[in-house]
Amino acid sequence: MISFRGFGKTYGKQQAVRNLDLNVRAGEVVALLGPNGSGKTTSLKAAAGLVKPTTGVVLVGNPGQPSSEPDARRCLSFLPQRVAFQDSLSGQEVLNFHRQIRGVDAAHAAAALGVASLNGAVARAVSTYSGGMLQRLGLAVALLPDAPVFLLDEPTAALDPDGLEAFYKVIAKSRADGRAVLFTSHQMGDAERLADRFAILVDGVLVADIAGREMKDRLAERGNMRLRVPSLDASTLAGLRVMAPDAVFTDGELVVRGPAGMRPRVIELILARGHQIVDLVAEDGRLDDLYREMVGPQREPR
């Protein structure tokens, strides 16, 4: 449905994206992650037919066509990172206008409006909208068309918790309906909740393309268990470190890093040595941490 093939984009001397190969199939939701300036918007715009590739091609639809072709444009809907509408129109008028040009029926439009939940502001001129309200209107417009391909650039940036819930539902339905969804986000929580796959761009280069299941396994591998243990002798700690080399014990708290499957053996060993466990919390690894490891040291956008 969306297929980047050796896609590259150079602005003057600036190489924004290099040799990107990435596919999003029907019924798949893919998160495109990466630091500021890493080439996410450029890639999405290329898929939307708004940026001309310097190298390679981006195919959209089924059968895939170059994204600049009218047939490809018809089968996609794009949410830009920064939306702009005509100030004098009301939110409702903006929606009606887009509903008509995309030939969408009223019931479908009502569902898209649910995400925007502009709290009665739909009758007001867009010029009076707050930044978040504008973003929400933009998202409602992007979700309007019954398009097989959604390209959403930071769709959750301005959503409050209710808007987020509504958006999660729309994406779940899009997946069930067999749409291909490619979205960018800096919110790892949203990416984790929404995506079937994670693609990470750093300096315009794809450094990871990981399926959700593999990501879950990787996160489970780097989980932590924290146990409150009033006392722990040196030989028990040494025994634990055979299983979990970086287990640490300070001030009555034992922290054991490693996969979930190891945890029962850790507990058994502590109890078998006659120690008490008074409290226990286990947590999976976090996508933020894994992301930071993959992206490498923080740097300024180029």
Binding site for ligand ATP (CB under 6 A): 11, 14, 16, 34, 36-42, 81, 302
What is the C-alpha to C-alpha distance for residues 172 and 175, in angstroms, rounded to an integer?
5
Which of the listed partners (ligand ATP, Mg ion, none) does 62 bind, with a CB threshold of 5 to 8 Å by partner kind?
A: none
Site for Mg ion in 92-151 (CB under 5 A): none
Q: Is the Cβ of residue 62 or residue 81 nearer to Mg ion in the bound state?
A: 81
Nearer to Mg ion, 36 or 127 (CB): 36
Rounded-to-integer distance, Cα 174 and Cα 190, Å: 16
Chain residues 73-92 in contact with Mg ion, contact rule CB under 5 A: 81
Q: Say whether 94 sits in a helix, a strand or coil.
A: helix
Q: How far apart are CA 211 and CA 30, in angstroms?
A: 9
Six-digit token string for 301: 């956008």
38 vs 156 by CB, closer to ligand ATP: 38
- Asked whether position 156 contacts Mg ion by CB under 5 A, the answer is no
Selection from ligand ATP, Mg ion, none that 27 binds (CB < 5 to 8 A by kind) is none
Under a CB-based contact definition with an 8 Å cutoff, are residues 71 and 59 in contact? no
Closer to ligand ATP by CB, 82 or 265: give it: 82
Helices (H), the chain: 40-47, 70-74, 91-101, 106-116, 131-143, 161-176, 188-194, 212-221, 234-243, 263-272, 287-295
Identity of the amino acid at 166 = A
For 216, list phi and psi in degrees, rounded to 5: -60, -45
Whole-number minimum distance, CB 293 to ligand ATP, in Å? 19
34 interface partner picked from Mg ion, ligand ATP, none, CB below 5 to 8 A per type = ligand ATP
Between 16 and 143, CB nearer to ligand ATP:
16
Cα torsion 120, 156, 67, 38: sign: positive
- Return the sign of the alpha-carbon dihedral for residues 73, 7, 197, 192: negative
Residue with CB nearest Mg ion?
41
Pick from Mg ion, ligand ATP, none: which does 49 bind, CB < 5 to 8 A by kind? Answer: none
Q: Does 41 bind Mg ion (CB under 5 A)?
A: yes
Which is nearer to ligand ATP, 182 or 247 (by Cβ)?
Answer: 182
Which helix (H) or strand (E) segment is 65 a member of? strand 65-66
- The entry of ligand ATP, Mg ion, none near residue 16 (CB within 5 to 8 angstroms by kind) is ligand ATP
Q: Least separation, in Å, of the C-beta of 134 and ligand ATP?
A: 17
Q: For residues 82 and 169, which CB has a smaller minimum distance to ligand ATP in the complex?
A: 82
Which of Mg ion, ligand ATP, none interacts with 11 (beta carbon under 5 to 8 A by kind)?
Answer: ligand ATP
185 counts as binding Mg ion under rule CB under 5 A: no
CB of 302 to ligand ATP, least distance (A): 5
Q: Which is nearer to ligand ATP, 9 or 263 (CB)?
A: 9
| DSSP code for 121 | G
Token pair listed for 150: 């959604």
CA–CA distances in Å: residue 182 to residues 12, 34, 77, 116, 154? 27, 14, 11, 20, 10
Stretch that binds Mg ion, among 36-44, 130-138, 142-150, 193-201 (CB under 5 A): 36-44
Other Cβ atoms within 10 Å of 222 Cβ, number:
15
Q: How far is the CB of 265 from Mg ion (least distance, A)?
A: 45
**Which tokens in the block code for residue 111?**
């569902």
Give the footprint of Mg ion on this chain (CB under 5 A): 40-41, 81
